[in-house]
Structure 1
Amino acid sequence: MKKNILAVLLSAALAGSMAGCATKEKPSGDLQKITFVLDWVPNTNHTGIYVAKEKGYFEAAGLDVEIVQPPEDGAEMLVGAEKAQFGISAQDGLMPALIGDNAIPVEAVAAVVQHNTSGIISRKGEGMERPKGLEGKKYATWDKDLEKAMIKNVMEEDGGDFSKVELIPSTVTDEVSALQSKSVDAIWIFYGWTGIASKVADFGTDYFAFKDINSTFDFYTPVIIGNTNWMEKKPDATKAFLSAVKKGYEYTIDHPEEAVDILCKAAPELDKELVAASQKYLNEQYKAEVEQWGYIDPDRWNGFYNWVSENGLSETKISENTGFTDDYLE
């Protein structure tokens, strides 16, 4: 769902910022050149990537990695066209790239965090701490079929009626400000950034997570994706890249304060107080209960796509184990 926010934010916040958000490249020599495209503005989902670059893990693995901002249509098309070898996406956003006549050669190779941290945020005390409370309220929508189907599902699970929600086309670029101004009542967010931002701003909110209402919605977001053809031709480089990224995230977990400094150095436009608070939250999410950073559970991956297919939200049925692999993780 992030790419729906992306087009608005890029025009407002990213003009001319690419050079400032990526760390300087060293002479490549014989290093394998890799372009890595983000999914959004730099944030704590990306910290491990910037740490891996700053600490020299990529170079030590024989790689020259450039981190770039995404186009308006997201990272998937750039990676699919092999203009970038790797990037950031999400299981829900990746789905259109995997099916139908317009399928492109991309697949997820690692989970950045283990669980879906997205849900609905609202002003505190207005009855929207549970899905049924959205009845009669203004929800800022991207007008996507999957988005609306998920909200309808969790509302019905809670005894609510989705038809009673007032859908407002989303132009939100600052969720906390939008709630404060009362232009909308409820917004889909990722708690690790916007939920934490509301706390930093000392603005009272209520929140419910999709995965807490329906476990099928505990899909993988965000994920690292790669170009399937490139990875098949260069399996060693792919494994080396993911090993360096894994090392970056593990260093972030062990050294959060230094990791915050590294991210803010790469993206000085970020609010350091927010970054530090968000980093503290996400450090518990990167690996959660699993031992290996990046692991993707086939049952959870397939379960979400099965629900999508069963509810007529994809052009064709999505086959088992489509769109991901754990084979390059070590």
Structure 2
Amino acid sequence: MKKRILAAVLTALVVFGMTGCGSGKKESSDQKDLKKITFVLDWTPNTNHTGIYVAKEKGYFEDAGLDVDIVQPPEDGAEVLVGSGKAQFGISFQDTMASALTGDDALPIEAVAAVLQHNTSGIISRKGEGMDRPKGLEGKKYATWDAPIEKATLKQVVEADGGDFDKVKMIPSTVTDEVSALKSKSVDAIWIFYGWAGIAAENAGLKTDYFAFKDIDDVFDYYTPVIIGNSSWLKKNPETAKKFLSAAKKGYEDAIKDPEGAAKILCEAAPELDKDLVVNSQKYMKDQYKAEVDQWGYIDPERWNAFYNWLNEKKLVETQIPENTGFTNDYLE
């Protein structure tokens, strides 16, 4: 679902080849000594990824003995590329990982770091039309991707607010620009990540209402996005994995300390991005990368398990997901 949401958010951006982007100012005198790592994005570059670009540009990966290639995902997603072993690390989301962890076609992937500490997604709408709370979606047009987890999430928050989910007008999503879609009134409500689409609405001067899923029900404070790794590779290369994540941590911590400088690095690597959007998004994201925790990347087992237990309870996965499946903090330092 998140890949679809990001597709809607970012389709307007020009897709370009990512291999070798943000190559860094520090050049190794002997590239043969660097261990090759492929990192696959979930979509085109955005501020979820800034720390990786900062780590590459500032030479943190190179200092760790790594030559990191940042690539775009194949059509079937980052999970497949990482699971196949063609990439060692990538970006995913706890909800979209669920289907990859279950069934006969389960992939050998696991989350090794939380990019953000909390779920920043929710529903955006035009201001003053009553959709500042879930019950207000009754009788309104919601742009849906018709995904089971998406619809179950929306149903739960609407009903928790005393609303009737059957009264929400579910229309197929064709949204590529949230601001234009809301202004034209082709839709009334859209699921977004506030750090990108919400900031874009602010930049455009569009007055909106918004509610975050995590503020309605704690079970929806799951991890989105996360860095995933290939489980087999991780077991065979634990020290390299730790070096990669240590360098990535430095990149994200730099983005926290200097959001404008980090935004400049991201824009240099992806010049088709709107600079004002990137800068303002980066200022928002600086408080989201670590939030209240001391260690960037830490995944709270209780919160992770709570969401997968909810999926189990609602029968939204092919097979039950056991506790503590799909993540590890073992490679964080």
Measured against aligned partners, the alpha-carbon deviations of 1:267-321 in whole angstroms (never above 9, x if no partner) come to 1111111111111111001101000000000000000000110011111111010
Aligned twin of 2:153 = 150
Give the partner amino acid of 2:321.
Answer: I
1:274 paired with 2:277, answer: yes
- Residue 4 of structure 1 is matched in structure 2 by 4
**Aligned mates of 1:187, 1:114 — CA distance in 2:** 23
Aligned-pair distance for 1:40? 1.7
Give the equivalent residue in structure 1 for 2:233. 230
TM-score by length of 2: 0.96
Q: What's the offset of the Cα at 1:10?
A: 7.7
Structure 1 Cα separation of the partners of residues 220 and 120 of structure 2 = 10
Q: Secondary structure at the residue paired with 1:18? A: coil
Per the alignment, residue 170 of structure 1 pairs with 173
Aligned to 2:307: 304
Deviation at 1:127, TM superposition (A): 0.6
What is the distance in 1 between the residues matched to 2:138 and 2:151? 14
CA deviation vs aligned residue, 1:141-167 (integer Å, no higher than 9, x gap) = 000011000000000000001111111
> Relative to 1, partners in 2 of residues 1:80 and 1:273: Cα closer, same or farther, differing over 3 Å?
same
Mapped to 2, the partners of 1:145 and 1:156 lie a distance apart of 16
CA distance in 2, matches of 1:260, 1:11: 20
Name 2:124's counterpart in structure 1.
121
| Residue 297 (structure 2) aligns with | 294
The answer to whether 1:24 aligns with 2:23 is yes
Aligned AA (1:201): A
Could you tell me the percent identity over the aligned residues?
71
Distance across 1 between alignment mates of 2:75 and 2:128: 36
How many residues end up aligned between the 2 structures? 329
Aligned to 2:98: 95
CA deviation after TM superposition for structure 1 residue 248, in Å: 0.5
1:198 Cα offset (Å): 0.5
Secondary structure of the structure 2 residue equivalent to 1:302? helix
Q: Distance in 1 between matches of 2:320 and 2:152?
A: 17
User: Counterpart of 2:123 in 1: which secondary structure?
Assistant: strand
Q: In structure 2, what residue type is equivalent to 1:125?
A: G
Could you list the per-position Cα deviations for residues 165-201 of structure 1 after superposition, in whole angstroms to 9, with x for gaps in the alignment? 1111111111111111111110000001111111011
Residue in structure 1 matching 2:259, options 251, 256, 259: 256
Give the root-mean-square deviation of aligned CA atoms. 1.5
- How far apart, CA to CA, are the structure 1 residues paired with 2:193 and 2:69? 26
Amino acid at match of 1:43: N
CA–CA separation in structure 2 for the residues paired with 1:168 and 1:30: 54
Identify the residue that residue 82 of structure 1 maps to in structure 2: 85
Between 65-74 and 89-98, the greater mean CA deviation after superposition: 65-74
What runs of 5+ residues in structure 1 fail to find an aligned partner? none
Q: Kindly provide the CA deviation profile for residues 75-134 of structure 1, in whole angstroms up to 9, marking residues without a partner as x.
A: 101100111110000100111110110101000000001000000000111110000000
Q: Which amino acid aligns with 1:112?
A: V
Change (3 A) 1:319 1:281: same
Residues of 2 paired with 1:254 and 1:106: CA distance? 31
Query: CA offsets, 1:235-287, max 9 Å, x none?
Result: 11100000000010011111212111101000111111111111111100110
Q: Quick one: which of 131, 135, 140 aligns to 2:134?
A: 131
TM-score normalised to structure 1 length: 0.96
After superposition, residues 51-70 of structure 1 pair within 5 angstroms as 51-70=54-73
In structure 2, the partner of 1:196 is 199
